[in-house]
Amino acid sequence: MRWSKYFIPTLKETPIGAEAVSHQLSLRAGLVHMLTSGVYSYLPLGLRVLRRIENIIREEMNAVGANELFLPCLHPLDLWKQTGRDKVLADVMITFLDKRKRPMCLGPTHEEVITNLVKDYVQSYRQLPVVLYQIQTKFRDELRTRFGIVRACEFIMKDAYSFDRDQIGLKKNYDLMYGAYKNVFQRCGLETVILEADSGAMGGDVSHEFMVPASIGEDLIVSCSACGYKEGAAEEKAKEKPCPKCKKKKLASQVAIELGHIFQLGTKYSQAQGALFIDEDGKQKPIIMGCYGIGVSRVIAAIIEKHNDDKGIIWPPQVAPFDVEILPIQGAEEDREIRNLTDRCDADLTAAGLEVLVDDREETAGRKFNDADLIGIPLRVTIGRRNLAEGKVEIKVRSTNEIVLVNKDQLAQKVLEMTKAACVTN
């Protein structure tokens, strides 16, 4: 991909009103554009990151036997009245009358919709378990949007749902999802703290949150340095409490971003919506459900919050928009040699399966270097006259700023080795 043919509108200055580092860098690096408060467009570079995160999620969901589908955003409000959540979520639901005067809403989540779907197809225990998931846009009329795409009115979520005949089946699927979530966040370069949590408006008796400690966020993790005890907290004053486990020290608090939440829902939705099945004993019973959510767009912000420096973003290899950036520094007399080597390197790396961005713009070397650091591609190959005079090319590792000089004829091989090593390490 040639930079001159791609839409990457980088900014030198930090936009006014962007407080969080992730918000600042996502705007400056040309990942997103704010249409209005809480509503964002994903630009080509940001969309590539989004797609890579989605692919990681798909791989892990598929590995635990979940089937992908795609549910509608438009919901009849009558469906929500069956569970009473039209009132519970009234403050954030976007509701309206369609032209037939039917009360409708834009889906803030999809428990009611998926339950309605499954009840039409599953009637026997022989059809269970069923595990379905989607990656879909959600809509919530947030009064206070914060931290860019961390809390927005329109956001992307992965939501999965399990349907079982008994508690044993639910526990099995819940444990599979628990492990899959750990894998997803690890592959995205994030270390999560997993906490037992309140199920809230979702319902059910058991739930866990997957939190990433960061300088921003709307959640608190309180912990004890003596025994390692951790819990989620609703208020800052919680850190003044003594540790409930060892009683030795007061709890310390840390701000965190919630990225995932999984729930053992039980029969809350199936009973309310009549999602029943005939069990082996011939009796009709409500299907037992679980639900499992990841804030996909939030993951982007969390990655940037945890992987950046004063120059820009440092993408973990698995989620980077490109694997390698080639940066030719051209002069009048050596254009052809530099251009030929750039083209050959691009072709070889692309053929090897890497995503390559070539900065072919007629810009100063300084501007190219600054933009390269800002957008944070894991490896940067610089092809310039000074090193080329000795048959060498420079490779820079964005995460460590390590610079390696290699023979120009071994460039593609070395880049492939370094890319594979970085993926294994991360």
Lowest mean pLDDT among 6-10, 321-325, 376-380, 421-425: 421-425
* Mean pLDDT confidence for 323-334: 80
* Mean pLDDT confidence for 122-135: 98
pLDDT at position 223? 87
Average pLDDT of every residue of the chain: 93
pLDDT at position 238? 63
Cα–Cα distances in Å, from 266 out to 22, 35, 116, 207?
37, 40, 16, 11
Task: Say whether pLDDT at 352 is over 70.
Answer: yes
Task: Say whether pLDDT at 329 is over 60.
Answer: yes
Task: Say whether pLDDT at 203 is over 80.
Answer: no
Distance CA 141, CA 138 (A): 10
Contact 419, 324 (CB under 8 A): yes
Share of the chain above pLDDT 70, in %: 96
pLDDT at position 331? 63
pLDDT at position 233? 76
Place of tokens 């069990």: 279
pLDDT at position 332? 47
Residues 6+ apart with CB under 8 A from 353: none
Contact 148, 23 (CB under 8 A): yes
Neighbours of 362 (CB within 10 A): 6
**Could you tell me the pTM of the whole model?**
0.93
Angle between helices 296-306 and 44-63 (to 10 degrees): 110
* Mean pLDDT confidence for 168-181: 98
SS3 content of the chain, % helix, strand, coil (to 5): 35, 30, 35
pLDDT at position 17? 86
pLDDT at position 249? 83
Task: Say whether pLDDT at 333 is over 70.
Answer: no
Q: Report how far Cα 60 is from the mean position of its chain's Cα atoms.
A: 13
Contact 329, 42 (CB under 8 A): no
Contact 71, 135 (CB under 8 A): no
* Mean pLDDT confidence for 258-279: 96
pLDDT at position 235? 62
pLDDT at position 199? 67
Distance CA 168, CA 372 (A): 51
More confident residue, 373 or 232: 373
Highest mean pLDDT among 33-37, 194-198, 204-208: 33-37
Contact 264, 207 (CB under 8 A): yes
Share of the chain above pLDDT 90, in %: 81
Task: Say whether pLDDT at 282 is over 90.
Answer: yes
Task: Say whether pLDDT at 303 is over 80.
Answer: yes
Cα–Cα distances in Å, from 293 out to 86, 190, 213, 346, 389?
20, 17, 18, 38, 54
Task: Say whether pLDDT at 198 is over 90.
Answer: no
More confident residue, 300 or 249: 300
Domains in the chain with CATH codes: 3-217+252-309 (3.30.930.10), 322-425 (3.40.50.800)
pLDDT at position 336? 87
More confident residue, 197 or 6: 6
**Banded model confidence at residue 219, pLDDT cuts 50, 70, 90:** confident
